[in-house]
């Protein structure tokens, strides 16, 4: 059975699952071609993350292990770290983010091209961890959207790999309409100096 | 034992500047007047029998409610004689200024900046007296006992 | 030629390296003023990992500080644990049993091995020697397996307690250590062959970042960076703590203090530390690992369940915290980067009044402008690597 673009098909008003949103899908009516293409693209995306390691703290030690020979992130197609945000699509926030560091994290996030995902590696990135004080951001999700949270102080490599697989599952289910996400929803808050 | 050599020499050399001394748990300590800190440090570094060539640590303790409120604490180490000493100088809140010891030990530079950042003690004669661990625009000095632990001053935050 | 240079109108260029840069380990910013490729001036901006260590310590009990010390130098957390515990024990005026002291030495040295392995691995990686990185990360995994066997965690161990340890040696630790060290030595030899006589590596590190011994002392250098200048200062030898005076080991020193010497010192220290662990394991005496002082060291869990006095002590030490007598102490241990000192002030309550760390890499990082002025911008990479600045410790 080939795919036909006959009158019948185009006039169909059935929306499977009711998940069609704004975007190219509406134009093409959720036809078979588009969903298959989307699946193919997502398949490609999920096995070729180019990650940007935003390594700040202790979790960096486990990140080295994950990338190293024993646990080998390369098996999941996510081994090539890019130290330019323009070339990366997975922002790995590894470690504590202090208020001094926060503007830099947001800048790096905004510089990445879409589609992009954020991986909160370790409990400090997830929620601030046990550093509930004047200098630590209480979770990076107060600054930028986060896709996968991996708690642990630091998380074991197995947990990181599990988090990466979860992210792959998530990417596989994404739709064109999920992008772009736009810039991080933050504004400068530094008081004006008089 | 020669544990008290440093304190003895200091008391002989600067009889008016030593406020008190003790050797609690074997740590020789001398509390000195803050006006003579530069002179005492130079003496400790250069005297043949002392030769404290390492400025190991510099920090401040905030005794809130006591007058003078702050104590600047110097830990020195002599490689030749394998000996340590702790020098303390008391600084009041109203006049939180003390001479910088960067001319004696160049390594004190960042330690003094940190003390300024965390406690608001100004070091006179320091080449670059500005914040080091926190950022410009941060108000207050977080390690003072009256700074609330959760008082945040973010640079960037969610759109209101 | 000089006329040409005058007419060229070359202006100085200011370049911002970091804080998010692969070389700067995420937590430091170099503001470099360049004349072509030569560094004219350099400013170092730290504090991107300031986590309020001292403020957190002052808000918790004395025992609750130990997890925070793990995260100071997170490459060698066990040394921080031991340093803090020894400082508190000095404040109280107690000494732990002999077996505990041996176990602490073993823990410290395993941590030191892991730290130096990481440092050389990262240094190799950033100079393009990816194979050395892979070999030493593999060796570090093996050492971490030992640490995990000992205390149940890989990085942030929380193993040492005031007046004792969390647990005794697990079964089969000796055999496993033997096997791991055999493998480590093999990997060490491989990396030694890969780097020590490698022309590319030597060209990048030799005569770069050198400093005279007098200047290094004035800057407050300690640890491998000071020993590379030719000063054999090691706290383990100068003021022996635990049972280091019963161990037979050498303190390697360099000559010029350049990056190659720092690298060689670290490589040799890995060997010496393995020797110390083996000696400590062979001399290990029997006996208890914890002090029997219920007001300072928590009671065993079985006693807490079955004895009323132990339960009361448990409540007292957990809720009020242990109460060292008022006073102040400074205690230094040899950290992986140099002298790691703890300055504690107690006011007699259950919380530390002041808990200050003397971070060894803080003065080292402060000397970066001195080491780099007049050098090429590419020299920042090996110099900063061999300084081994650890954000958690430098910024606290």
Give every CB contact of residue C204 below 8 A, 6+ residues apart in sequence: C127, C259, C378, C381, C382
A 10 A CB-CB count for A18 gives: 7
Look at residue A8 in the predicted model and tell me its pLDDT. 42
CA gap C116, C106 in Å, rounded: 16
Which chains are adjacent to chain C, needing at least 3 Cβ pairs under 8 Å? A, B
Task: Give residue A6's pLDDT band: very low, low, confident or very high (50, 70, 90).
Answer: very low
Give burial (CB, 10 Å; 0-12/13-18/19+) of B75: buried
How confident is the model over A108-119, as pLDDT tens digits? 999 898 888 999
Complete DSSP assignment for chain A: ------HHHHH----GGG---SSHHHHHTT-HHHHHHHHHHHHHHHT---EEEEE-STHHHHHHHHHSTTT-GGGGT---B-SSGGG-SEEEEES--BTTTHHHHHHHHHHSPSS-EEEEESHHHHH-TT--STTB-S-GGGTS--SEEE-SSSPPHHHHHHHHHHHHHHHHT--GGG----S-SEEE-PPPP-
CA gap A164, A49 in Å, rounded: 10
Measure in Å the smallest separation between the Cα of C366 and chain B Cα atoms.
7
Contact B92, B68 (CB under 8 A): yes
Q: Which of C15, C51, C19 is nearest to C32 (CA)?
A: C15
CA gap C311, B35 in Å, rounded: 53
**Out of A68, A83, A98, closest to residue C48 by CB:** A98
Rg of chain B taking only CA atoms, in angstroms: 17
Look at residue A14 in the predicted model and tell me its pLDDT. 47
Task: Give residue A26's pLDDT band: very low, low, confident or very high (50, 70, 90).
Answer: low
**Out of A55, A57, A134, closest to residue C52 by CB:** A134
Report the predicted TM-score, pTM, of the whole model to 2 decimal places.
0.88
C:256-315 residues touching chain B, CB 8 A cutoff: none
CA gap B10, B16 in Å, rounded: 10
Look at residue C181 in the predicted model and tell me its pLDDT. 92
Task: Give residue A34's pLDDT band: very low, low, confident or very high (50, 70, 90).
Answer: low
Specify which residues C15 forms β-bridges with. C32
CA gap B108, C373 in Å, rounded: 20
Contact C336, C75 (CB under 8 A): yes
CA gap A89, A45 in Å, rounded: 9
Handedness of CA C174, C175, C176, C177 (dihedral sign): positive
CA gap C216, C81 in Å, rounded: 27
Our CA dihedral for C310, C316, C319, C322, rounded to 10 degrees, sits at -110
Look at residue A10 in the predicted model and tell me its pLDDT. 42
Segment B51-67 mean pLDDT:
89
Contact A3, A33 (CB under 8 A): yes
Interior CA angle at A182 toward A179 and A184, to 5°? 135
Residue of A nearest to C152 (CA): A156
Q: Which of A141, A92, A84, A87 is nearest to A117 (CA)?
A: A92
Q: Which of A30-44, A75-89, B103-117, C228-242 has the lowest mean pLDDT?
A: A30-44
Look at residue B50 in the predicted model and tell me its pLDDT. 84
| Domains of chain C, CATH where assigned | 53-394 (1.10.645.10)
Residue of B nearest to C394 (CA): B133
Are B152 and A99 an interchain contact pair (Cβ–Cβ within 8 Å)? Answer: yes
Look at residue C83 in the predicted model and tell me its pLDDT. 92
Q: Indicate the domain borders of chain B.
A: 5-124
Segment B85-112 mean pLDDT:
90
Decide if pLDDT at B1 tops 70.
no
Query: How much of chain B exceeds pLDDT 70, in percent?
Result: 97
Are C55 and B149 an interchain contact pair (Cβ–Cβ within 8 Å)? Answer: yes
Q: Measured between alpha carbons, how far is residue C103 from residues C66, C108, C243, C288 in Å?
A: 17, 9, 10, 11
Residue of A nearest to B135 (CA): A100
Long-range Cβ contacts of B141-144 (<8 Å, 24+ apart):
B141/B117, B142/A134, B142/A135, B142/B118, B142/C52, B142/C55, B143/B60, B143/B62, B143/B118, B143/B119, B143/C54, B143/C55, B144/B62, B144/B64, B144/B118, B144/B119, B144/B120
| Contacts C19 to A, Cβ<8 Å | 101, 104
**pLDDT tens string for chain C (396 positions)?**
566 666 666 788 888 887 888 777 768 888 999 888 888 889 898 888 898 899 988 888 998 899 999 888 888 899 999 999 999 999 998 989 999 999 999 999 999 999 999 999 988 888 888 888 889 988 999 999 999 998 888 888 888 988 888 888 888 899 999 999 999 999 999 999 888 888 888 988 888 888 888 889 999 899 899 999 989 899 988 889 888 989 899 899 988 888 999 999 999 999 999 999 999 999 999 888 888 888 888 888 888 888 888 888 888 888 888 888 999 999 999 988 889 999 999 988 888 999 999 999 899 999 989 888 888 888 888 898 888 888 888 888
Segment A23-36 mean pLDDT:
61
How confident is the model over B100-111, as pLDDT tens digits? 999 899 989 999
> How remote is the C-alpha of B77 from its chain's centroid?
14
**Out of B148, B150, B155, closest to residue A99 by CB:** B155
Look at residue A2 in the predicted model and tell me its pLDDT. 44
What is the 3 state secondary structure string of A85-97?
Answer: HHHCCEEEEECCC
| Contacts B144 to A, Cβ<8 Å | none
Decide if pLDDT at A17 tops 60.
no
User: Mean pLDDT of all residues in chain A?
Assistant: 79
Is pLDDT larger for residue B33 or for residue A70? B33
DSSP state of C324: P
Q: Indicate the domain borders of chain A.
A: 48-172
Residues of chain B in Cβ contact (below 8 Å) with chain C: 24-25, 27, 29, 53-57, 59, 61-62, 73, 75, 79, 82, 84, 86, 105-111, 118, 131-135, 142-143, 145, 149
How confident is the model over A123-137, as pLDDT tens digits? 989 988 888 888 898
Give every CB contact of residue C350 below 8 A, 6+ residues apart in sequence: C61, C62, C320, C321, C322, C323
Compute φ and ψ for B29, nearest 5 degrees: -135, 140
Task: Give residue A12's pLDDT band: very low, low, confident or very high (50, 70, 90).
Answer: very low
CA gap C23, C123 in Å, rounded: 9
Segment B31-56 mean pLDDT:
88
Q: Which fold has domain B5-124?
A: Beta Polymerase; domain 2 (3.30.460)
Are A135 and C21 an interchain contact pair (Cβ–Cβ within 8 Å)? Answer: no
Are B86 and C327 an interchain contact pair (Cβ–Cβ within 8 Å)? Answer: no
Are A98 and C20 an interchain contact pair (Cβ–Cβ within 8 Å)? Answer: no
Decide if pLDDT at A18 tops 60.
no
Look at residue A191 in the predicted model and tell me its pLDDT. 59
Look at residue A118 in the predicted model and tell me its pLDDT. 92
Give every CB contact of residue C312 below 8 A, 6+ residues apart in sequence: none
Are B132 and C47 an interchain contact pair (Cβ–Cβ within 8 Å)? Answer: yes
Does domain A48-172 bear CATH number 3.20.20.70? Answer: no
Interior CA angle at C243 toward C238 and C245, to 5°? 40
**Out of C19, C68, C141, closest to residue A68 by CB:** C141
Look at residue B65 in the predicted model and tell me its pLDDT. 85
């Amino acid at each position: 059975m080939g795919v036909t673009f006959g009158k019948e098909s185009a006039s169909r008003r059935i929306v499977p699952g009711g998940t069609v949103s704004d975007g190219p899908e509406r134009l093409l009516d959720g036809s078979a071609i588009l969903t298959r293409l989307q699946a193919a693209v997502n398949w490609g995306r999920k096995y070729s993350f180019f990650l940007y390691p935003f390594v700040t703290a202790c979790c960096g030690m486990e990140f080295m292990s994950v990338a190293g020979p024993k646990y080998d992130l390369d098996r999941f197609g996510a081994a090539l770290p890019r130290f330019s945000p323009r070339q990366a699509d997975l922002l790995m926030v590894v470690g504590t983010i202090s208020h001094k560091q926060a503007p830099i994290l947001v800048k790096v996030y905004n510089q990445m091209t879409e589609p992009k995902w954020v991986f909160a590696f370790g409990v400090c990135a997830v929620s601030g961890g046990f550093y509930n004080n004047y200098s630590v951001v209480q979770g990076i999700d107060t600054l930028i959207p986060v896709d996968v949270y991996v708690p642990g102080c630091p998380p074991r490599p197995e947990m990181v790999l599990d988090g990466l697989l979860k992210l792959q599952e998530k990417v596989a289910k994404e739709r064109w309409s999920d992008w772009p996400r736009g810039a991080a929803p933050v504004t400068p808050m530094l008081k004006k100096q008089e | 034992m020669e544990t008290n050599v440093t304190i003895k020499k200091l008391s002989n050399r600067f009889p008016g500047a030593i406020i008190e001394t003790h050797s609690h748990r074997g740590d020789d300590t001398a509390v000195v007047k803050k006006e003579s800190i530069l002179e005492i440090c130079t003496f400790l570094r250069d005297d043949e029998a002392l030769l404290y060539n390492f400025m190991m640590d510099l920090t401040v303790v905030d005794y809130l409610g006591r007058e003078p409120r702050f104590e600047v604490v110097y830990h020195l180490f002599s490689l030749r004689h394998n000996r340590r000493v702790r020098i303390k100088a008391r600084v009041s809140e109203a006049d939180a200024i003390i001479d910088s010891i960067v001319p004696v030990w160049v390594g004190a530079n960042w330690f003094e900046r940190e003390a300024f950042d965390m406690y608001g003690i100004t070091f006179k004669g320091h080449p670059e007296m500005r914040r080091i661990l926190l950022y410009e625009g941060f108000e207050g000095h977080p390690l003072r006992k009256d700074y609330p632990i959760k008082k945040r001053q973010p640079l960037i935050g969610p759109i209101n | 030629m000089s006329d040409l240079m005058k007419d060229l109108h070359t202006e100085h260029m200011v370049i911002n390296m970091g804080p998010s840069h692969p070389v700067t380990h995420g937590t430091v910013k170099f503001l470099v003023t360049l004349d072509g490729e030569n560094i004219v001036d350099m400013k170092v901006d730290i504090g991107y990992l300031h986590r309020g260590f001292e403020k957190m310590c002052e808000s918790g009990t004395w025992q609750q500080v130990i997890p925070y010390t793990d995260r100071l130098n997170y490459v060698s957390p066990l040394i921080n644990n031991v340093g803090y515990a020894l400082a508190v024990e000095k404040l109280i005026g107690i000494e732990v049993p002999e077996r505990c002291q041996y176990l602490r030495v073993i823990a410290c040295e395993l941590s030191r091995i892991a730290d130096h392995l990481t440092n050389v691995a990262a240094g190799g990686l950033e100079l393009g020697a990816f194979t050395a990185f892979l070999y030493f990360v593999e060796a570090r995994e093996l050492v971490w397996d030992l640490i995990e066997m000992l205390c149940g965690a890989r990085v942030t161990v929380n193993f040492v307690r005031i007046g004792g340890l969390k647990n005794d040696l697990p079964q089969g630790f000796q055999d496993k250590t033997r096997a791991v060290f055999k493998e480590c030595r093999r990997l060490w030899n491989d990396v030694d062959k890969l780097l020590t006589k490698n022309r590319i590596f030597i060209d990048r590190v030799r005569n770069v970042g050198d400093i005279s011994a007098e200047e290094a002392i004035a800057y407050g250098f300690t640890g491998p960076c000071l020993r590379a200048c030719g000063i054999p200062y090691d706290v383990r030898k100068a003021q022996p703590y635990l049972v280091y005076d019963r161990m037979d080991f050498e303190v390697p020193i360099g000559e010029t203090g350049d990056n190659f010497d720092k690298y060689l010192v670290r490589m040799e220290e890995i060997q010496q530390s393995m020797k110390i662990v083996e000696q400590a394991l062979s001399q290990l005496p029997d006996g208890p690992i914890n002090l029997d002082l219920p007001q300072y060291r928590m009671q065993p869990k079985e006693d807490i369940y079955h004895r009323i006095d132990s339960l009361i002590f448990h409540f007292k030490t957990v809720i009020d915290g242990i109460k060292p007598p008022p006073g102040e102490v400074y205690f230094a241990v040899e950290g992986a980067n140099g002298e790691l000192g703890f300055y504690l002030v107690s006011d007699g309550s259950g919380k530390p009044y002041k808990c200050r760390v003397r971070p060894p890499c803080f003065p080292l990082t402060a000397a970066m402008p001195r080491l780099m002025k007049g050098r090429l911008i590419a020299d920042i990479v090996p110099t900063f690597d061999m300084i081994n600045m650890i954000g958690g410790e430098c910024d606290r």
